[in-house]
Amino acid sequence: MKYFITGAAGFVGYHISKNLLEKKHEVFGYDAVTPYYDIGLKNRRIENLKKYPNFFFEKKNLEDKSALLSSFSKFNPDIVFHLAAQAGVRYSLENPSAYINSNIIGTFNLLEILREIEVKHFLFSSTSSVYGSNDSLPFKENDSSDKQLSIYSSTKKSCESLIHSYSYSYNIPATIFRFFTAYGPWGRPDMAMFIFTKAILEDKEINIYNHGEMARDFTYIDDLIESIFRLSTKIPQLDDKYENDSLSNIAPYRIVNIGNSKKIKLMNMIEAIEKKLNKKSKRNFLPMQIGDVKETLADVSLLKELTSYYPQTSIDEGVGKFIDWYLKYHQV
């Protein structure tokens, strides 16, 4: 099969590309290698992928529609994983236009291409933060998601909505994943686990928001990749019959949560890092940041029903694997 992967230089895009290349599929990675975080890390990921003869790569942005169209039509993919985005809740307070450009314009450009060039399945990465001010845990796909708290999550929600109308209007089979805090080797330097690990090793203070009264459903990257690969084979059909389905009743479009279905307190995540590093953190407790949600937890009944699989890696095991990679990568 031929897979077109936007965001292949990113954390999730790198892992899914590698997984597919190892299964001998052809992968076309499309990524602008944006400087939002260390481009050295993104370039290292791409170098690793280029070791596979069945990997092709174009360093261009999604806003460049003619470059996108040219790569897309040349490769003629069966399946599209659209993972490229301006990510990050906090940075969206500083630079909203980066989110409008990459996420909304970028997704629109890709959808316009899909009107002309048919694919078997289009898969898009959304986020648990679209549940916004909804505080009834666990989050279920059909729960209300109308009140986002950050510009990042409202661009993701806008994309979900755009994709639904394209799916309906042009019969494009589409699956939306809502990821719950992914982490693991080759992870993002802007995310808490990475920032805390780095600071503890460097004897610096860590900033703990909402005085530590936060919790996340942390999803280990290998579990997330297995989930999205299995979902790519489950092409939404209007006559599907699943008990927990979030399938649209008018379009081949479905939303699926991908989480570990465990609520891990922020302080427990910090303790897991300290235990693995055998070193205590210097804690700086701060108030809640605008845009953050206090807690997340996924209901993964639909994922289980569709794929007979769900993420189960424990936080201690996952943090251990992340830190092993971190120490090796940074030659600590």
Ligand X SMILES: NC(=O)c1ccc[n+]([C@@H]2O[C@H](COP(=O)([O-])OP(=O)(O)OC[C@H]3O[C@@H](n4cnc5c(N)ncnc54)[C@H](O)[C@@H]3O)[C@@H](O)[C@H]2O)c1
Q: Which residues are catalytic?
A: 152
b/e per residue, 282-291, with b = 16+ CB within 10 A?
eeeeeeeeeb
Among 2, 18, 42, 234, binds ligand X (CB under 6 A): 42
Pinpoint the alpha helices (H) of the chain.
11-22, 39-49, 65-75, 91-94, 96-99, 106-116, 151-170, 192-201, 221-232, 266-277, 301-307, 315-329
* Binding-site size, ligand X (CB under 6 A): 27
* Nearer residue to ligand X within complex by CB, 42 or 140: 42
Binding track over 163-202 against ligand X, x by CB under 6 A: ----------------x-xx-----x--------------
Site for ligand X in 122-141 (CB under 6 A): 125, 127
**Rounded Cα–Cα distance for residues 50 and 275 (Å):** 36
Taking the CA atoms of 219, 223, 229 and 233 in sequence, report the sign of the dihedral they define.
negative
* Nearer residue to ligand X within complex by CB, 48 or 204: 48
Distances in Å between the alpha carbon of 208 and those of 203, 216, 267, 269, 282? 15, 14, 9, 11, 10
Strand 215-216 with 264-265, pairing: antiparallel
* Nearer residue to ligand X within complex by CB, 94 or 203: 94
Site for ligand X in 59-98 (CB under 6 A): 61-63, 83-87
For position 33 contacting ligand X by CB under 6 A, the verdict is yes
For position 7 contacting ligand X by CB under 6 A, the verdict is yes
- Part in contact with ligand X (CB under 6 A); list of ranges 8-16, 228-236, 249-257, 288-296: 8-16
Is the bond preceding 138 in cis, omega lying within 30 degrees of 0? yes
* Nearer residue to ligand X within complex by CB, 133 or 171: 133
Q: How far is the CB of 1 from ligand X (least distance, A)?
A: 21
* Nearer residue to ligand X within complex by CB, 87 or 172: 87
Task: Give 267's strand partners.
Answer: none
For position 11 contacting ligand X by CB under 6 A, the verdict is yes
Distances in Å between the alpha carbon of 149 and those of 155, 262, 279? 11, 22, 35
**Rounded Cα–Cα distance for residues 154 and 172 (Å):** 23
Please, are residues 330 and 186 in contact by the beta-carbon 8 Å criterion? no
Among 12, 256, 266, 273, binds ligand X (CB under 6 A): 12
Among 20, 21, 32, 174, binds ligand X (CB under 6 A): 32
For position 31 contacting ligand X by CB under 6 A, the verdict is yes
Binding site for ligand X (CB under 6 A): 7, 9-13, 31-34, 42, 61-63, 83-87, 102, 106, 125, 127, 179, 181-182, 188
